[in-house]
Structures are given as structure tokens and as C-alpha cells.
Amino acid sequence: MTIQTVSTNKSYGGVQGVYRHASQATRTDMVFSVYVPPHADGAKLPVVWYLSGLTCTHANVTEKGEFRKACAELGLIFVAPDTSPRGPDVPGDANNAYDFGLGAGFYVDATQEPFARNYRMWSYVTDELPKLVAENFPVDAKRQSVMGHSMGGHGALTVALRNPHRYRAASAFAPIVAPSLVPWGIKALTGYLGPNKDTWRSHDTVALIEDGAKFSGFLVDVGEADNFLKEQLKPELLEAACTKASIPLTLRRQAGYDHSYYFISTFMSDHLHWHAERLKG
């Protein structure tokens, strides 16, 4: 699989790149970003996957996430995919809403028309893109972790729970932990997977834990001033599920912080240091 370089910039001694490729999963061109820290020739480095939230592309965290300094110090590759397929022939929300369709792939493989052809973001972020990155960057495939924000927090936690032997760590900022129970998730899962709620459970963090999925532990930050906290995020449901299943969870409620990248960038270094501890060796 070949990639096209869109741009590269030196940062903290490493290289921040943006790349494009023709995706077999989504049948569209896809753009993603990769930061490779300074490293010795021939070295293989651990990789942190970052899944973004509603309306985002790779660019939001790349430009606002403030991750490069920590990644350079810790020796971490940082990969940020897009959140959905894009292109003139890709269907979107019928009413052009922000929470479904373009920019809102929800990290599932759609089964419903007209979305099933292109909206295969689960396959893209768990299979196709990891193979592509491993072929083109100095990645140690045995040392991977995943993190995300909001819709991407949902993606990161579900990816980890369904692939516990691939990822050594998983964390999230303001994740949608129970999409089957909140407006954003109900709209997306109905539209992509259909009305049978049993098919939603494999893409619902709380439901996966209730059904027996395990992981080594999670770090989750939420902002107490987040406008979506009570209606869409419901971190207390994750807390209860992890407690019942004996899954270690560090849930930090940050006073005064909202849902934005001001919040994410403030605690990004904390998360990357937490990941690095689990990616050593």
C-alpha cells in the first residue's frame, strides 16, 4: 500500500507529517497525520493511536493537541486518523447535521444503506491503517496503545476492549461511554447498524464490559464544565461498570474544563506519560 506525503514539518527534533492514501476499507481517499519523534537509525518505536471526535479531521489534534513535546521526550509515535470517509459521492446526514455522516463515522462498520459502502471506520482504524503505518513508519507493533476524545473516546475504549492483547493502554477525554443510551449514539448506531439494539452492544463500552469484555485499566478525564457531560457522556455509567467488573479505572473530574481542545491539550501530557509507562519494554 502506498501513501502520498501531503506535508512534513520538523518539530521537537522529530517530523510531523500529513499523508493521503486510497483506502480499500472506505473506498475513498483518506488523510491521516503521524508524528515520528527523534530516534536512532533502525529503532522501532511504540505507537499511540488517537481517535478524534465529532466534526473533526486529523487536523484538530494535530494543530491543537500539544502532544509533540511529550512524544519527543518519551519516544512515542502519534497517529491521528480522520473520523469518516469523505468525498463527493459519500453520503452524509440528510439534514446536514454535525452528529451523523461526514465527520461522524463513530468507528463502526455500517451495515445500513446508503452508508455500508463507505462507512467502514472500524475496519479502517483497527486493520487497514495500522498495516499501512507499520509498512511506512518505524513502529513496534508489539507496543501499541489507543486514546481518543468524545466520539473518539468511545472508539478508543471499544477498540481496546475488543482487542485487549493488541493495546497495552487505553485512555479517553470526555468519552461517550454508553452510546446506546444517549442521543448522539442512538442516532449514529441506528443509522449505521439498524434498529436492532443487540447489534449495538459491541460498539458500546458499558455494554461490552457488562457482556464480559476486559482490559488492564483505563484513564479517563472529563471536564465538569462540559456542556455534554450529563446528557451525552455519562461517565458515572463507566465508573459503575468498571467497579462491578473489577476493571481498574482512573476517572478524573476536572473542575472548570469544558469539551474543547483547551481541555484536551491541558491533560495530553499526563495521558502520554501514562501510556509511556505501559508501553515500556
Q: Which residues are catalytic?
A: 150, 226, 259
DSSP helix/strand/coil, 174: coil
Spatial separation of the C-alpha atoms in residues 176 and 156, rounded to whole Å:
10
Work out the number of other CB atoms within 10 angstroms of the CB of residue 213: 19
Is residue 77 within 8 Å of residue 45, measured between CB atoms?
Answer: yes
DSSP secondary structure of 5-68: EEEEEEETTEEEEEEEEE-TTTSSEEEEEEEE----TT--EEEEEEE--TT--THHHHHHS--H
Task: List, in order, residues 6 or more apart from 4 with CB less than 8 Å away.
Answer: 19, 20, 21
Strands 29-36 and 77-80: antiparallel
Q: What DSSP character marks residue 100? A: S
How far apart CA 8 and CA 199 sit, in angstroms, is 41
Mapped onto helix, strand or coil, the DSSP state of residue 182 is coil
